[in-house]
Amino acid sequence: MAELTPDKKIFRIQLLAVSVGMLLLIAKFTAYYLTHSNTILTDALESIINVVAGAFALYSLYLSSKPKDYDHPYGHGKVEFISAGFEGIMIAIAGVLIIGKSAISFFNPRPLEHLDIGLAIVVGSGLVNYLLAVLLVKTGEKHASLTLKADGEHLKSDAYSSLGVLVGLVLIMLTEWIFLDGIVAIIMGGIIIYTGVKLLRKSVAGIMDETDEGIVQSVIKHLSEHRKAEWIDIHNLRIIQYGNKLHVDCHVTLPWYFTLEDAHKEIEEIAAIINEKHSAQVEFFIHGDPCIPQSCKICSIEKCEVRKEAFKEKMEWTLENVIRNKKHGL
């Protein structure tokens, strides 16, 4: 049996998340129907968002897995940022609805019933959500899928919300202070809004091609570990993420006396190193620069017959000097 590709693995796990989300949605609304608790309603409303956002994420994963074509030369991966933004908006809307419903309940309270059953459903659904969230986040990190990680973080926040709901229900059962139901729900609504806004912020950053320092640092680290003396300098490094794929532009300073064939060989080796080490699929566009007399003081090639200056010190590659569009950071 043929091994599944990363795209198919991601799609199947997201399909599992949506299916489980629909079952939990039914369970939570059953708990709300039995208890009339606004605190449980917060959990149920967020489950609606889980299912809707999860379904949209599933479709975005299908689109992002499609190969490049004439109209999309960089692929379809950017749709994952749109998916994450949509999910963030939906989460924030759920938080607003929860706060509104809870505020109204202060003026029109309803007696709470069957809290023991509601408590059991909340605990069970929270545990399932947390385990599913861990699976989504780990798989998303392994295959560099923002959509899977975003949905995992969403489910993880849902599990934490369930924990807050659990604490609130226990307090209500112990004290019989019904007003705590609305207060806990409002607090959880605020936390949910914060989660949604944070996810939306990350989505906008991706769409705007904001530098992800974590990814850049990872690429720099891998290159530094396999650095050759002939790779005198790397600068103007830029990384754009398209779903689980990375597009990398950079300039590499090589000895000026290298033939075009020699330079091409070194550039291909750099690209291969990153693709072997990085979890995402990486497309490299590398511009080769010839070294200049000022390069000699940082060039560690031992037997260079055209050296103009003595070697002084090796220049370490850092985030600051690699992303600048200046050779040797000058």
Residues 177 and 68 in one domain: yes
Six token digits for residue 100: 């509104």
244 plus 184 within the same structural domain: no
DSSP output for 182-221: HHHHHHHHHHHHHHHHHHHHHHHHHHTT---HHHHHHHHH
Query: What is the pLDDT, as a whole number, of residue 290?
Result: 92
pLDDT at 106: 66
Q: What is the three-state SS of 86-103? A: HHHHHHHHHHHHHHHHHH
CA gap 315, 227 in Å, rounded: 12
Are residues 147 and 277 both part of a single domain?
no
- 318 in the same domain as 189: no
Residue with tokens 């599913």: 132
Q: Which residue has the higher pLDDT, 187 or 232?
A: 232
End position of a domain, from candidates 146, 179, 207: 207
Residue 1 lies in a domain: no
pLDDT level of residue 111 (50, 70, 90 thresholds): low
Please give the share of the chain, as a percent, with pLDDT higher than 70.
89
**Residue 58, C-beta contacts closer than 8 angstroms, at least 6 positions apart:** 11, 14, 15, 18
Inside any domain, residue 283: yes
pLDDT of residue 251: 92
Secondary structure (H, E, C), 60-127: HHHHHCCCCCCCCCCCCCCHHHHHHHHHHHHHHHHHHHHHHHHHHHHHCCCCCCCHHHHHHHHHHHHH
Q: Above 80 in pLDDT, residue 68? A: no
Host domain of residue 312: 213-329
Tell which of 175, 207, 239 closes a domain.
Answer: 207
- Helix 38-64 / helix 6-35 crossing angle, nearest 10 deg: 160
Q: Are residues 147 and 273 in the same domain?
A: no
Q: Are residues 249 and 121 in the same domain?
A: no
Give the least confident one: 12-16, 96-100, 229-233, 292-296.
Answer: 96-100
Percent of the chain predicted with pLDDT > 90: 8
70 domain-assigned: yes
Q: What is the mean pLDDT of the chain?
A: 80
Assess contact for 197 and 89: CB atoms under 8 A. Answer: no
Residue type, 147: T
Which pTM does this prediction carry? 0.64
Higher pLDDT residue, 193 or 105? 193
CATH value at residue 290? 3.30.70.1350
Residue 91 has pLDDT above 70, yes or no: yes
Q: Domain count for the chain, please give it.
A: 2
Query: Are 194 and 229 part of one and the same domain?
Result: no
Domain membership of residue 71 (yes or no) is yes
220 and 322 housed in the same domain: yes
Residues 198, 249 within the same domain: no
Tell whether 158 and 257 lie within a shared domain: no
In this model, does residue 133 exceed pLDDT 80? Answer: yes
CA dihedral 180, 183, 185, 191 (to 10 degrees): -140
Mean pLDDT of 199-217: 79
pLDDT at res. 1: 43
Quickly count: other Cβ atoms within 10 Å of residue 4's Cβ: 11
How large is the average pLDDT for residues 277-282?
Answer: 66
279 within domain boundaries: yes
In terms of C-beta density within 10 A (0-12 exposed, 13-18 middle, 19 or more buried), how is residue 278 classed? Answer: middle
For 250-267, the pLDDT digits (tens) are 999 999 999 999 999 999
| Residue 233 placed within a domain | yes
Which pLDDT value is given to residue 308?
87
Residue 3's pLDDT band (cuts 50, 70, 90):
low
Per DSSP, the three-state class of 245 is: strand
- Chain mean position to CA 294: 41
Boundary residue ending a domain (189, 207, 225): 207
3-state secondary structure of 4: coil
Provide mean pLDDT across the span 137-163. 76
Does residue 11 sit in the same domain as residue 144? yes
Residues 140 and 170 grouped into a single domain: yes
Residue 253 pLDDT: 93
| pLDDT value, residue 259 | 92
Could you tell me the CATH number of the domain that includes residue 33?
A: 1.20.1510.10
